[in-house]
Amino acid sequence: MCDESKLEEWAKAAISRRQFGALTGAAALAACASGESNATTPLPGLKEQAVSFPTADGTLDGFLVQPAKGDHPAVILWPDIAGLREAKRNIARNLAAEGHAVLIVNPYYRDVAGEQFADFAAFIAGGGFQKVGPWRGKLNAEAITRDATSIVAWLDRQDGVDTARGIGTQGYCMGGPFTVWTAAAVPARVRAAASFHGGGLVRPDNPMSPHMLLGKTQASFLIAIAKNDDAQAPADKTVLRDAAEEAKRPAKVDVYAGDHGWMVPDSPAYNAPAAAQGEADLLALYKTALA
């Protein structure tokens, strides 16, 4: 993604547009211009709720949305660095409308509960990188493995979750590697994992590098790489493809026509056509792997 100084400039402009929209009654237009959504209620046929449950490290909280009727495969959604917020809830709502029970995890639950930033612009303007640094530092492979074990066990106890079908997981930016760690933590249940512009997927000096753990999973993978991330580390896609082949795991590893953050509507890099392609590929993965 852009450097922090450029992000700060973008955030100030985005917040100014929202303030102007609120004052002039053009909030909806301002939101559309910045790629944000104003949805705050469930889509028809869905039910949603804030949830919390114990883990080995404390009380995890999050947001669960699912079809109001029937049993459906569960999906664990790991947010990007700005955490649980409306942009992510809207992603989950759209996925639930396709027939999934979607849990968005608050990745920072060890330190804070609930939404900390209204959107990515507020994250940047409020010194988000500095604020979340200590929280994020706790999110190593071992911590996410413990979380994933608790999350899967909790999901399998919920009404409306089809335990006869596999669980999917998807992550954005820092959440990308979390999906592989989740699939490796509970291989018998997690059968699909999608990383969108994920960071840290290839770390050869780290035995818990996601690319080294594919063989510990029973999942199919979608690894969607941002074009500017690929420019910085062009060998990563080859390493990931080779690792998947060696592990005998189905994997689609592609570079998409969007920069880091292209999948997230409140990101300055949001790219609607590339996001639509990513969403289509995600649904195709779940349709096959969670059957």
Place 284 in a pLDDT band, splitting at 50, 70 and 90: very high
What is the SS3 assignment for 32? Answer: helix
Q: How many residues does the chain have?
A: 291
180 close to 196: Cβ distance less than 8 angstroms: no
Domain boundaries, the chain: 43-289
What is the SS3 assignment for 157? Answer: coil
Look at residue 8 and tell me whether its pLDDT is greater than 70: no
Tally Cβ neighbours within 10 Å of residue 54: 10
Q: Give the pairing type, strands 190-196 and 167-172.
A: parallel
Which tens digits make up the pLDDT trace of 30-53? 333 333 444 456 789 999 999 999
Task: Give the pair of three-digit tokens for residue 261.
Answer: 């953050």
Q: Which of 40, 76, 36 is nearest to 183 (CA)?
A: 76
What is the mean predicted confidence (pLDDT) over 9-22? 56
CATH value of 43-289 in 3.40.50.1820, 3.40.50.300, 3.40.50.720, 3.40.50.150: 3.40.50.1820
- Phi, psi dihedrals of residue 28, rounded to the nearest 5°: -65, -40
Complete DSSP assignment for 101-116: EEEEE-TTTTT--S-S
pLDDT at site 261: 95
Question: Torsion angle of alpha carbons 21, 25, 29, 32, nearest 10°?
Answer: 60
pLDDT at site 38: 43
pLDDT-wise least confident of 94-108, 116-130, 141-155: 116-130
Report pTM.
0.90
Which tens digits make up the pLDDT trace of 157-181? 999 999 999 999 999 999 999 999 9
